[in-house]
Structure formats: structure tokens, C-alpha cells
Amino acid sequence: MARTRGYINPSVMNFLLGETGGYLLLTMMMMALMSTGSGEIMAISSIVVYNIYKTYINPFSSCMVWVVILIVPDGLLISETDINVNWATLGLEVLICPFLMPLFLTITWSKATAKGAISDK
């Protein structure tokens, strides 16, 4: 039972509970992954709808369903093209990060002043 490489939990589950333990661990891991993916989709949808679309484009709309419908193909594309999910998630989080554009403009905009950089209005 000595293991020098790899993830130890499947070995322990198989040792303690037999083959059923491995299936239980796999089921728990899949449930955690599905829950995390669902939460990410809802978080991104909420950010896009409430912070961008409803604020700047159409304040009187209710389009949460449409944003979810548009985000799901993104996940399917990532799944089918064998893109590393860690990099895809990191890239998506960087793109929707609310402070990225103000930070970028603060650093690169030639008309930015010191007073404007520290102002809260």
C-alpha cells in the first residue's frame, strides 16, 4: 500500500471501503466540480447582466437567461478543444475583473493626474 506518487485519497478509500470507496470518491469529486462550475456560470452571468448590461446598455431589461445561454457554449468550446481549464478560468476572471480597466487606464493614460488617481468620485 506504500505510494510514492499521485493522489492518496483514492487509495485510502479503496483500502477502507473497497471498490465502492473509489466510486464514492469519484462521485463526491464530480459533485464538487459541477457545483463549482454552476456557481462560476451564475457569478459571471450576474456580473455581466447587472454591472454591465443593465447599467450601461439597457436598464429596463431582464436578460439573465440570455447571458447564461451565451456562456454555456463557451464552456462547451473549452471542453471540446482540450484547452486547459485552469488557464481558461484564469483568463475569464482577468477579463471580467472590475478593477482591471481602471488600473490599466491609470497606468497608461497620458491625461491621468495624481489627483484623479486617488479621487473617489
Q: Is residue 96 part of a domain?
A: yes
Supply the pLDDT for residue 62. Answer: 66
Q: Is residue 21 part of a domain?
A: no
pTM above 0.75, yes or no: no
What 8-state DSSP symbol labels residue 6? S
Q: Is residue 93 part of a domain?
A: yes
pLDDT in tens, 46-94: 787 777 777 788 777 766 667 667 777 877 887 788 777 777 777 777 7
Q: What single string gives the DSSP state of each residue in 34-55?
A: HHHHHHHHHHHHHIIIIIIIII
Supply the pLDDT for residue 1. Answer: 53
pLDDT category of residue 2 using cuts at 50, 70 and 90: low
pLDDT in tens, 5-41: 667 777 888 888 888 888 888 888 888 888 887 888 7
Number of independent structural domains in the chain: 1
pLDDT category of residue 45 using cuts at 50, 70 and 90: confident
Q: Is residue 3 part of a domain?
A: no
34 alpha-carbon distance from chain centroid: 12
Q: By residue range, what is the domain housing residue 52?
A: 38-118
Q: Is residue 18 part of a domain?
A: no
Q: Is residue 5 part of a domain?
A: no
